[in-house]
């Protein structure tokens, strides 16, 4: 069982920045594929960015060039640096951890989410 605790959300004006953090309660954090997802009111949860255990990353098109995902394996922490925020980025942001050997249908582990609100 892996517990994930997100922090760093808040209210920011359009064009501003926030950095989200997610601390994982596992000694083998470095082995997990990690991701940030978000869910806006009335919409489905979507993958925003992912970083694999080997360090490769990918992003949804809408955040490319604005968001950066990173990890500090020594601190068991995942980050999401969000710059040039837009009102459409408003959502609850969730951290996800999935072991690379888990079945493809496995949802992995989820944090409780942190609210990001961008005002225009």
* The pLDDT value given to residue 104: 86
The SS3 assignment for 85 reads: coil
Using the Cα atoms of residue 100, residue 106, residue 112 and residue 117 in order, give the sign of their dihedral.
Answer: positive
DSSP codes, 5-68: EEE--EEEETT--EEEEEEE--TTGGGSEEEEEEE-TTS--EEEEEE-TTS-EEE-GGGTTTEE
* The pLDDT value given to residue 96: 97
User: How crowded is residue 37: how many other Cβ atoms within 10 Å of its Cβ?
Assistant: 21
Instruction: Please name every residue paired with 80 in a beta bridge, in sequence order, or none if there are none.
Output: 20, 69
pLDDT tens, residue order, the chain (120 aa): 899 999 999 999 999 999 999 999 998 999 999 999 999 999 999 999 999 999 999 999 999 999 999 999 999 999 999 999 999 999 999 999 999 999 888 999 999 999 999 999
d(CA 99, CA 78): 15
d(CA 72, CA 29): 9
Instruction: Please name every residue paired with 93 in a beta bridge, in sequence order, or none if there are none.
Output: 38, 114
């Amino acid at each position: 069982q892996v517990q994930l605790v997100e922090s760093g959300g808040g209210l920011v004006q359009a064009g501003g920045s926030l950095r989200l953090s997610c601390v994982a309660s596992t000694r083998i954090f470095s082995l997990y594929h990690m991701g940030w997802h978000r869910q806006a009111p009335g919409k489905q949860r979507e993958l925003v960015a992912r970083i694999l255990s080997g360090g490769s990353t990918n992003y949804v098109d809408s955040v490319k060039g604005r968001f950066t995902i990173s990890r500090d394996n020594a601190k068991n922490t995942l980050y999401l640096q969000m710059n040039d925020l837009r009102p459409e980025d408003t959502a609850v942001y969730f951290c996800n951890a999935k072991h690379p050997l888990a079945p493809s249908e496995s949802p992995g582990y989820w944090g409780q989410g942190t609210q990001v609100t961008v005002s225009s």
